[in-house]
Structure 1
């Protein structure tokens, strides 16, 4: 019985500490994006933002826990599936991969500096320099 209670406590702690990614945009960017648009953006399928501009997609480095969490929620792809997906698109010349960053502060700085940038961060890392346009 003690083992069951311990397992329940540990699982609830891991859920509480799980990352809650949100999609952010520049203050001059779109006010909101649908889940379908976000999925297309981060898979290189959406070539234009609602304002007609070409998006600058900001992605975390491979292996980042927030990246895995985000794609699990939004694109439904694992890290291995993402790597295979992008390898195929790059090799065939159908898309360029998103720009990658190593931290939330860099993601926020890049998005705030470019009117057409879209990225994601943990909800706790959102600042007044960007706006949330989608919550998975």
Structure 2
């Protein structure tokens, strides 16, 4: 019985804490973005807005890569490596943390980024939520 309780506790603690991801833009931006356009922006197939990423290795970045760009982080890294090597593209700039993302998007009308939905403040506008 004690082993089952310990197993239950371990599973509860180890279970990943996925949060909603808010896709954000400058408050003056009137863009309407769906998941397909978001994917095109973060894979360099659209330049309607300037996509910005969080730093590689951040848990929310991995989650966004799968939900927003439709690929695992390793797949996206390989995709961008090929484009950079062939001179056909440049990956989105990376920012160190969510505070930097909020600051950057709030200061750049053409930028699009993402943060944990709980981190959103009045300096940016949420245009899409990924659950």
Class of the TM-score when normalised by the shorter of the 2 chains? 0.7 to 0.9
Moved over 2 A (4+): 1-20
TM-score by length of 2: 0.86
How many angstroms apart in 1 are the aligned matches of 2:128 and 2:76?
Answer: 21
Q: Which runs of 5+ in 1 are unaligned?
A: 49-54
Which residue does 1:24 correspond to in 2?
24
How many angstroms apart in 2 are the aligned matches of 1:78 and 1:31?
Answer: 26
Tell me the number of residue pairs that the alignment of Structure 1 and Structure 2 aligns.
130
Which residue does 2:92 correspond to in 1?
98
How many angstroms apart in 2 are the aligned matches of 1:130 and 1:3?
Answer: 48
Q: Does 1:57 align with 2:51?
A: yes
Root-mean-square deviation over aligned CA pairs: 2.0
Q: Which runs of 5+ in 2 are unaligned?
A: none
The one of 61, 66, 91 aligned to 2:60: 66
Equivalent position SS for 2:47? coil
